[in-house]
């Protein structure tokens, strides 16, 4: 048994934060039913990365909707809405990610759902929360990143603001939602009381910056100072960054600049004895390192640094990663299949339970694939949780 076997989750959400959270609950054993628009379904079915589609749906949709069932419904149709409310009555968790007020207009906001099912744990994802001047803005990751200040932490000082190359606000929002839902389920187990769990992309993006915002709040309000050379963290000194070598790149994390100079046989670094200079003079230190590291291959530098336990790593591209024995040992790729036989390779859940890796076999559902089966279960009065 997986930890969440027996729980029923209704996933009304679209795009990334909500569906990813619902998928994680499915990975952990919950039965997840994705409630989708009868016409077109989740908009991310057509939101592609690199124009890639598998069996009619984008890999974006596939990547965050494995192990789910699809129930297509027109929530403005009284008959369909009544069927969905019957699902709500049985659900343990409901997840939605509409703009504030949308679920209320459908009669499925928290208060309405709580009246149907007092034990329900209701998860709501918004872009900026339900209050304030931003509440009606589109909750899209790049827009949230931009408002949160994150792009000023990326790139070199002579560059404009640089966004993260992943939807980090969505991903952290998803993780926060899962934590909140599981905490509410634990409380429900003790009290029988349901809960409303609210998360937003903006608050998650701010929480993501807890280290640097705490520094900013206590350093007199100084703005981030990105290094002009190989910047990897606006608040850390040399050697922190990625450096070109004779045949690739190497990452250097925190460590003594003087000790690094000794290991690399770079006598110029001996001039920086004061640790404060590793931040105050980091650009000149990094320029010295950038020139010096080009003289040998990544493997040659690693052979000097790793035996001395100096924090470093080769910089791999995706192909190199997939071919590396370290990646293969994780067994992190799985194949999932639809009922029609269409197959997709994707990542597995990163969590292990009692030493066991969590794999899935069922791919993301076809739109409305499970309507007939679920209607039949409801007609029989079957308890829908596993």
What are the catalytic residues? 233
Rounded CA-CA distance 300/281 in Å is 27
Pull the structure tokens for residue 22: 């619902």
Element at 132 (helix H, strand E): none
Q: What is the DSSP letter of 152?
A: G
Task: Determine what percent of the chain falls in helix, strand and coil, rounding each to the nearest 5.
Answer: 40, 15, 40
Residue linked to tokens 């994802």:
125
Rounded CA-CA distance 337/324 in Å is 26
Rounded CA-CA distance 216/64 in Å is 35
DSSP string, 274-305: STTHHHHTHHHHHHHHHHHHTTS-HHHHHHHH
Rounded CA-CA distance 110/6 in Å is 22
Q: Is the distance from CB of 69 to CB of 35 less than 8 angstroms? A: no
Pull the structure tokens for residue 51: 């124009």
Q: What is the DSSP letter of 345?
A: E
Rounded CA-CA distance 269/168 in Å is 36
Sign of the torsion formed by the C-alpha atoms of 133, 135, 141 and 145: positive
Please give the backbone phi and psi of residue 348, each rounded to the nearest 5 degrees, phi first: -100, 170
């Amino acid at each position: 048994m997986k930890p969440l076997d027996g729980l029923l989750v209704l996933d009304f959400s679209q795009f990334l934060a909500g569906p990813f959270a619902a998928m994680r609950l499915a990975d952990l054993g919950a039965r997840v039913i994705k409630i989708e628009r009868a016409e077109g379904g989740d908009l991310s079915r057509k939101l592609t990365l690199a124009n890639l589609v598998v069996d009619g749906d984008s890999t974006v949709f596939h990547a965050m909707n494995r192990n789910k069932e699809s129930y297509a419904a027109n929530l403005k149709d009284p008959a369909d809405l009544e069927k969905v409310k019957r699902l709500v009555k049985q659900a343990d968790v409901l997840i939605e990610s509409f703009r504030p007020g949308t679920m209320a207009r459908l009669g499925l906001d928290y208060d309405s759902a709580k009246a149907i099912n007092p034990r329900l744990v209701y998860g709501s994802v918004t872009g900026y929360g339900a209050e304030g001047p931003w509440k009606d803005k589109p909750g899209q990751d790049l827009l949230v990143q931009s408002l949160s200040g994150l792009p000023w932490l990326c790139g070199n000082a002579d560059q404009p603001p640089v966004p993260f190359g992943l939807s980090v606000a969505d991903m952290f929002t998803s993780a926060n939602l899962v934590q909140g839902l599981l905490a509410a389920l634990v409380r429900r187990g003790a009290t029988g009381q349901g809960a409303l769990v609210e998360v937003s992309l903006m608050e998650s993006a701010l929480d993501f910056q807890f280290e640097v915002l705490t520094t900013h709040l206590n350093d007199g309000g100084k703005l981030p100072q990105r290094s002009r050379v190989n910047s990897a963290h606006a608040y850390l000194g040399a050697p922190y960054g990625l450096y070109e070598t004779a045949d690739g790149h190497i990452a250097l994390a925190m460590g003594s600049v003087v000790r690094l100079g000794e290991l690399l046989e770079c006598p110029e670094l001996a001039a920086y004895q004061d640790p404060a200079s590793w931040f105050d003079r980091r650009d000149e230190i990094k320029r010295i390192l950038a020139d010096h590291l080009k003289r040998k291959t990544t493997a040659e530098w690693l052979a000097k640094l790793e035996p001395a336990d100096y924090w470093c790593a080769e910089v791999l591209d995706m192909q190199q990663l997939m071919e590396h024995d370290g990646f293969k040992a994780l067994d992190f790729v799985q194949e999932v299949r639809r009922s029609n036989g269409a197959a997709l390779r994707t990542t597995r859940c990163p969590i292990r339970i009692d030493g066991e890796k969590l794999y899935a076999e069922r791919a993301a559902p076809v739109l409305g694939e499970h309507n007939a089966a679920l209607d039949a279960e409801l007609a029989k009065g079957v308890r829908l949780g596993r």
